[in-house]
Structure 1
Amino acid sequence: MKRYSILILPVLFTFFTTGIFCQTGRTPARAVNGMVVSSHYLASQAGDEILKKGGNAIDATVATAFALAVNLPSAGNLGGGGFIVYHGNNGAQTTFNFREKAPLAATADMFLGEDGKIKNNSNHEGLLAVGVPGTVAGLFKAHQKMGKLPWAQLVAPAIDLAENGFPATYDMNWFVEWVKKNKKEYPSTAKAFLKNGEEIYFPGELWKQPDLAKTLKRIQAKGADGFYKGETADLIADYMKANGGLITREDLLKYEAEELKPVTGNYRGYEIVSMAPPSSGGVAIIEMLNILEGYDLKQMGHNSAISLHVLTEAMRRAFADRALHIGDPNFNPGIPIEKLTSKEYAGRLRETIELGMASVSDSANFSAAHLVPESPETTHVSVVDKEGNAVSMTYTLEASYGSRIVVDGAGFLLNNEMGDFNPIPGYTNSRGLIGTEPNLVEPEKRMVSSMTPTIVAKDGKPVIVIGSPGGRTIINTVLQVIVNVIDHEMNIARAIEAPRIHHQWLPDITSFENWGFSPDTRDLYENMGHKIRTVTNQGQAMGIFIDPETGIIYGGADSRSYDARAVGD
């Protein structure tokens, strides 16, 4: 214990000497000049410093994202992808889609053996599971369109963290222990994550990443070309070719991020601004809120059995629609977004809900479907600058530490996002496996995601900035935080800390966090016909609330995330 007490001192010293005000638990941080909320305190500080230097919300998001690629390798990344939602104080709205793509050599049955079953978990493990990364392209595109400070200045904090090191934290321990046990099978990962490729870093010990620093310097000097062309692209393509992967120089050269219009809706006088497909989250959030608008949730009471019932029934219906309709719109031009997000459609769905009696999710009602499990290991960043412009960004490697494969010589982890495609065309069962056509593997197609970066506005100005990791639970986590603020009038930190549930149509079971719900509530809920299982935690929401009357900014970083902080001034 004495060793750990000494090693943790650098981390504690950081908090007590920065003069930065961070929230604790259900008490939000308070700021007037800007706020950054992320899953690592050093990344939040990096973003906040950019705001202090005159950067805007996009600038701070870029700096925070690159910093997270260094100090939150479980989800922060260069080798993954994600989404940005922007809402300006002047009412301007846009989004950036930098979801990964399937390689040019990918096929619909690429993960299947001769028996038609998934071979060796190949859609989640190994290089076949790696999609063409989009993060660097997305951050660069957003900056080129909307950034204020020079690009090189935004990448600099991440380079400093990688080159000069930072204190390793307890949250990394399980992974470095795993790497040590598997270093023969993952030599490039061992080189990046172990001292001299051999020994683990204990919490508080300085961890340096020289190869990652070199990759970041190429990105700093050349923008997206520093990743998709030249030395970094060569390192990726050569590693793939030598080890049985599919991604080539052509795949990297052809990758482009997209600027898209957001999906929008309204809820009790607030505008909901979220991500369009290939994210399923925005459509599902609006559909669920439209259903819930017909109930007096405040009168029902927060997390009462009856309110949990109507939440569950809204979740069930939105997730069924998600599986049936949502895919990459570049390959599925007929996604009925207008219908799914309409009040009329929500009203028809609401009529099918019986108060006091659970519906039944039946895979036989679905012609053919394979709902692929999504990993909870994603990360979210919420930013508001002093002008009141807001950014909500969620990005991921898919599983915790992605594929767990580091590109040799480049120092960053690769994603395993190909597992978010439906791997078995036309197969559905009651355990939650789904195989609908919109999300089958095709070359250059983006896989469906549940990432749900969302901004809630009032009178054309941002009020709530929210998002979370958590695989498919992301959608329902974001839903419950919004409901907690609007219907139950909680501050942003309380709204985030409150216990949560999750239902995703199939399997037909509701996850309850194993704290915060009374046995009586659970009994009443089960008596309506719902099945329950318990989980330790659901999501790690990062949120901001801007008081529309005073302009004061309040930040909440979920205590479910070990190193998360809301930082502002």
Structure 2
Amino acid sequence: MKTLRYIICSAALTFTTGVVSAESKPPSIIDYDSIHHPVVAKNGMVVSQQYLASDVGLEILKRGGNAVDAAVATGLALAVVLPRAGNLGGGGFMLVHLAEDNKTIAIDYREVAPKAAHRNLFLDEKGQVDKRKARFSHLSAGVPGTVAGMELALERYGTMEWEEVIQPAIDLAEKGFVVNWDLANQLSRRSTHMGKVASTAKVFYKGDGEFYENGETLVQKDLAWSLKQLQKHGAKAFYEGEIAKKIVADMEKNGGIITADDLFSYQPQERKPLVGTYRGHKVVTMPPSSSGGIHLIQMLNILEHFPIADYGVNTANSIQVMAESMKYAYADRSKHLGDTDFYDVPVEWLTSKKYAKTIADKISVNKVTPSSDISAGTRPKYESPDTTHFSVVDQWGNAVSNTYTLNFSYGSGIVAEGTGILLNNEMDDFSAKPGTPNAYGLIGGEANAIEANKRPLSSMTPTMVFEGDNLKLVTGSPGGSRIITTVLQMIVNFVDHGMNVAEATHTPRFHHQWLPDRLFIEPAINKDTRKLLQSRGYELYESSTMGSTQSIQVEDYIYGSSDPRRPNAKAAGY
């Protein structure tokens, strides 16, 4: 049997008969013959970035819950066991597919700017962006949407009671869970910042300031209290009850601007998903305030004009054509994307086959166009990095694709005193100063300027792919600005190259976002291909691994694959 030494983010992953399990220390020998085999199930599947949360969702499915019940339970559990990204204090996007009605719904529970926010919120006296304020202060928090979004999804499309689906998260917070080596390492690395915030140190570090070690138990009493408040009173506890009071008190004490009225006024939005087509497949994805869905469809429309399958997987030609399409999409993102409640986003034009053809005509496999020669298209006159994704499919064919985030790993690093809840730093996703890059290097314009009650632009791209009316793929990823291109490559691998969900997940990735004018590549990209790309004019930048897709393929059985690029993920099915 062949073996391949395959090291990804120091993650320890063992592949045996298609089942992925996370180990507590990082050996790195992987069985190459089994790397392409997904986890197989007959009745239901939950794929998430943390194995304990996947098990929680799977247990809900086994009890007869549907995909939404399992998704909400998984999301609440991730808030406990994956504090870097799972959250109650952030926000996100959820796609829900209802098989019986052949209908897909988009739920937007993205954070909103507080009422006191204004376009110059993070500018200093010289008119420059104060990065500390924008990213690591109470001012950096948008009004959280996760709790309201999860409750809305469960009430409208679930079958179980809130009290039941939240209980596993309460147990994990109150009784504690075993700290794995990745969590221990993450908390140690961030102690310089997080350890200095008293409310955060109380939760994630020992009383003497020592770090939690691999194998020790992390108990989160304040978070358990918050979850019990939610179990008893529902989302009202967060937006107008005892949790809200603690958040507002913490804001007032530390110069934040989220008020009781901000929390009380928050509402998630149910939206019509975006629908595109790609080589006979229907692609259903998230509308704004996600930029991901628009530009995913835009890039797929461009790629339809090129024989990607004939070029081959990650050849110089296929990478070049895809990278050029990425440049044009991210240039458009910088100008045309924002919250549709505040800005007239030209969705139909950006996702039209006609506009894609004008871009495709500019792309050649023999010539690289410098980013300096590319600008956002002119609309017709008539017209982060830590996030986490999970996917669920149940025995009736219902499905959920959910991506939610605190923005950075652990958000701002600030826990609201007495709640155990980490605050997001999503305000940095606005254009603090139009034309100035944010933390992910993304350029934004007036459409995404800071404004009260506005949702900041996001790259989160929960997506489903159908063949006719048959659901085939549920996917999504974290990764900041790289989310959109990661999801793009999953779909291209699946549709053009005929890969199964595990093969599509494991294939090396690349990314271009227009500015900076660099082609980011994972270490496993072939060296001969690199030389060809460099000879054509690309500046290559070897990056750490990109994204962490958690995906499900539906065929005769349900096939799940967790991305090994980050440790402790699990595809759990039965």
TM-score by length of 2: 0.91
The AA in structure 2 aligned to 1:460 is: D
Structure 1 portions without partners, runs of 5+: 1-11, 369-374
- Equivalents in 1 of 2:399, 2:484: separation in Å? 20
How far is 1:200 from its partner? 1.8
How far is 1:461 from its partner? 2.4
1:446 counterpart = 2:452: no
Say if 1:228 and 1:252, in contact at 8 Å, map to a contact too.
yes
1:324 counterpart = 2:340: no
In the other structure, the counterpart of 1:296 is 307
- Equivalents in 2 of 1:484, 1:210: separation in Å? 44
In the other structure, the counterpart of 2:133 is 122
Report matched runs for 1:331-342 at 5 Å. 331-332=342-343, 334-342=344-352
Q: What's the secondary structure of 1:362's corresponding residue? A: helix
- Equivalents in 2 of 1:207, 1:275: separation in Å? 35
- Equivalents in 2 of 1:20, 1:520: separation in Å? 31
In the other structure, the counterpart of 1:424 is 433
Say if 1:22 and 1:568, in contact at 8 Å, map to a contact too.
no
In the other structure, the counterpart of 1:68 is 78
- Equivalents in 2 of 1:181, 1:302: separation in Å? 42
Say if 1:179 and 1:190, in contact at 8 Å, map to a contact too.
no
How far is 1:197 from its partner? 5.9
The Cα offsets for residues 379-414 of structure 1, whole Å up to 9 and x where unpaired, read as 000000011111100000000010000111101100
Deviates more, 1:159-168 or 1:183-192: 183-192
Aligned length: 542
The AA in structure 1 aligned to 2:551 is: G
Q: 2:413 aligns with which of 404, 411, 431?
A: 404
Say if 2:494 and 2:504, in contact at 8 Å, map to a contact too.
yes
In the superposition, relative to structure 1, how do residues 427 and 408 fare at CA in structure 2: closer, same or farther (>3 Å)?
A: closer
In the other structure, the counterpart of 1:357 is 367
Q: What's the secondary structure of 1:115's corresponding residue? A: coil
How far is 1:362 from its partner? 2.0
1:212 counterpart = 2:223: yes
- Equivalents in 1 of 2:175, 2:444: separation in Å? 47
The Cα offsets for residues 265-321 of structure 1, whole Å up to 9 and x where unpaired, read as 011111000000000000011010111111111111100100001010111111111
How far is 1:349 from its partner? 0.9
How far is 1:184 from its partner? 6.5
How far is 1:225 from its partner? 0.5
In the superposition, relative to structure 1, how do residues 156 and 288 fare at CA in structure 2: closer, same or farther (>3 Å)?
A: same
In the other structure, the counterpart of 1:526 is 534
Say if 1:88 and 1:462, in contact at 8 Å, map to a contact too.
no
The AA in structure 2 aligned to 1:406 is: V
Q: What's the secondary structure of 1:160's corresponding residue? A: helix
1:566 counterpart = 2:568: no
In the other structure, the counterpart of 2:98 is 88
In the other structure, the counterpart of 2:6 is none
Q: 2:234 aligns with which of 223, 228, 231?
A: 223
How far is 1:25 from its partner? 3.9
Q: 1:376 aligns with which of 378, 381, 385?
A: 385
1:26 counterpart = 2:42: no
1:462 counterpart = 2:467: no
Q: What's the secondary structure of 2:443's corresponding residue? A: coil
1:201 counterpart = 2:212: yes
Q: What's the secondary structure of 2:371's corresponding residue? A: coil
In the other structure, the counterpart of 1:238 is 249
The Cα offsets for residues 212-252 of structure 1, whole Å up to 9 and x where unpaired, read as 01100111112111211111000000000001111111110
How far is 1:21 from its partner? 5.1
Report matched runs for 1:249-328 at 5 Å. 249-328=260-339
- Equivalents in 1 of 2:274, 2:138: separation in Å? 33
How far is 1:97 from its partner? 0.2
- Equivalents in 1 of 2:492, 2:156: separation in Å? 33
In the other structure, the counterpart of 1:556 is 561
Q: What's the secondary structure of 1:176's corresponding residue? A: helix
Q: 1:97 aligns with which of 108, 122, 129?
A: 108
Q: 1:437 aligns with which of 443, 446, 449?
A: 446
In the superposition, relative to structure 1, how do residues 30 and 435 fare at CA in structure 2: closer, same or farther (>3 Å)?
A: closer
The Cα offsets for residues 308-345 of structure 1, whole Å up to 9 and x where unpaired, read as 0101011111111111111000001x211111111111
Say if 1:20 and 1:568, in contact at 8 Å, map to a contact too.
no
How far is 1:364 from its partner? 8.6
Structure 2 portions without partners, runs of 5+: 1-11, 22-33, 379-383
How far is 1:526 from its partner? 1.6
In the superposition, relative to structure 1, how do residues 193 and 545 fare at CA in structure 2: closer, same or farther (>3 Å)?
A: same
Q: What's the secondary structure of 2:59's corresponding residue? A: helix
Two-structure CA RMSD over aligned residues (Å):
2.2
Q: What's the secondary structure of 1:123's corresponding residue? A: helix
1:487 counterpart = 2:496: yes
In the superposition, relative to structure 1, how do residues 441 and 458 fare at CA in structure 2: closer, same or farther (>3 Å)?
A: same
The share of aligned pairs that are identical, in percent, is 47
How far is 1:196 from its partner? 3.1
Say if 1:39 and 1:379, in contact at 8 Å, map to a contact too.
yes
